[in-house]
Each structure stands twice: as structure tokens, then as C-alpha cells.
Amino acid sequence: MRLTVDALSARRGEDLIFKDISFTLGAGESLILTGRNGSGKSTLLRAIAGLLHPESGRVIWISDGAEDGMRAAEACHYLGHRNAMKAELSVRENLEFWQSFFGDFAGGQGMSIGEAAEAVGLGGITHLPFGYLSAGQQRRMAFAKLLVAWRPVWILDEPTAALDVSAESVFTALIKTHLGKGGIVLAATHQPLGLENTQELKMTGFAGVMESMW
């Protein structure tokens, strides 16, 4: 099981944000993206998730069960800045929808809704409309979405924004559990997540690329 990123470059408007980024992550490995605001962390993660057409390069997912030509995005969970939950629906309805819409990827199984809510520390409130929750609780519930359906690769874009210290430790524990099960994690973050066996990629933004180009 392997996620390979091969010479990926992406462009926003006229500017090349990053150029020729390559790395390979195997089971249980993680990659932390660091860098100041605007350095292209989110752009790289969106390109890997297949949400942004890369200027060049490709993202390849290799595993035993994978068919040829399968998009790498299908093996990924993406947690972006927005929570992808509907304020009008209850937390349970939201999670049930995503559980059934995602379906489990080959090689693992997701938790039940109750277990996932317990895992992020918000067991008793799944009946409330998502819009009633505080920003931190909403973020935790958005994270619970990753637990209800199995995907080997988690792409996390600033997962700990708007969270208190206890929630950060909960997230770190969940990420470690996922890595322990043979998952792969790519995260853009400012907080040290305290992971072992981690590669770090320091993004410099288009200024850095320009310097290296010229």
C-alpha cells in the first residue's frame, strides 16, 4: 500500500505555487506540511485530493486490491477548512449520510455513528442540529466523519484550527490509531502533533520557487 506523489506542480492564476514535489508514503507513515500562511500547503493537499488540476506531475495510489487507473482521491478522506456538514440536519443525520455515501474502502471498516461521536468526545449530542454546536464541537464532528467510513489515506488541512488543548490530544490519538492500523496521514498544521515516523515538508510558497527557478 503506497501513495506516491510524482513531480507535482500547481498553479494559482499566473503563479506557480510549488514545483516538482515528489514523495512516497507507505503504510503507517505520515507527512507533515509546515510553512507560513500562503505558502501552498492547502494547494498541495487539494492537488493530492484531486480537487485541483495539477500543472504537471501525478498522484498514484498503489495497493493489492486497487484497479489500474484508479484515482488516488478515492482512497482518501479530505478534511478541509470547511466542515462539509449541513447546519439544518442533526449530527446523526449528517454522519449517517456520509457513512452511507462514502462506503468503506477495501481493507477496513468504519465505526458506527455512536462510536465515532464517542471517539471525538461528544457522545451524547448526536441528536442536535449541527448548526447548534460551537465551532470547536463542529470541528470535532467533522473529524468524526473520517471515522465512520474507512479510507487508508487521511488528508487533513489544519485539523486542529478552533480546537482546545484536550481536543488536540484527542485528534493526535486518533491519528496515531489510524497510523497504527496501517493508514497514511498527510497533514498541514502549525501545532506539533507529536507523531513518530514522520516526514516533514517545509513549504516556501511561490517566492521560494521563484528563487530556485531564477
Partner 1 sequence: MIALLLRDVKLSVRAGGGALIGVLFFMTVVAVIPFGVGPDLNLLSRIGPAIVWIGALLSSLLGLDRMFQTDREDGSLDLILMQEHPLALTVLVKCLAHWLGNGLPLVIASPLLGLFMNMDEVAIGATMLTLLVGTPALTFIGAVGAAVAVALPRGGLLVSILVLPLAVPVLIFGVSASYAAVQDPAPFMPPFLILVAITMFFAVLGPLGAALALRNAGD
Query: Interface with partner 1 by CB under 8 A: which residues?
Result: 49-53, 71, 73-74, 76, 78, 80-89, 93, 96-98, 100-102
Closer to partner 1 by CB, 84 or 173: give it: 84
Closer to partner 1 by CB, 52 or 128: give it: 52
Q: Beta strand pairing status for 2-12 and 15-26?
A: antiparallel
Taking alpha carbons only, the member of 33, 43, 38 closest to residue 9 is 43
Q: Which amino acid does the sequence have at 13?
A: G
CB of 23 to partner 1, least distance (A): 20
Closer to partner 1 by CB, 130 or 171: give it: 130
CB of 25 to partner 1, least distance (A): 18
Closer to partner 1 by CB, 50 or 136: give it: 50
CB of 34 to partner 1, least distance (A): 23
Q: Grid coordinates standing for 141?
A: 464532528
Q: Grid coordinates standing for 27?
A: 503504510
CB of 71 to partner 1, least distance (A): 8
Q: Is 214 helix (H, G, I), strand (E, B) or coil?
A: coil
Bridge partners of 154, per DSSP, are 77, 185
Closer to partner 1 by CB, 73 or 125: give it: 73
Phi first, then psi, for residue 84 (nearest 5°) are: 55, 35
CB of 5 to partner 1, least distance (A): 16
Closer to partner 1 by CB, 84 or 207: give it: 84
Q: Which amino acid does the sequence have at 90?
A: S
Q: Is 209 helix (H, G, I), strand (E, B) or coil?
A: helix
Distance CA 6, CA 176 (A): 26
Phi first, then psi, for residue 165 (nearest 5°) are: -65, -40
Counting every residue, how long is the chain? Answer: 214
**Consecutive H or E run containing 187:** strand 184-188
CB of 114 to partner 1, least distance (A): 18
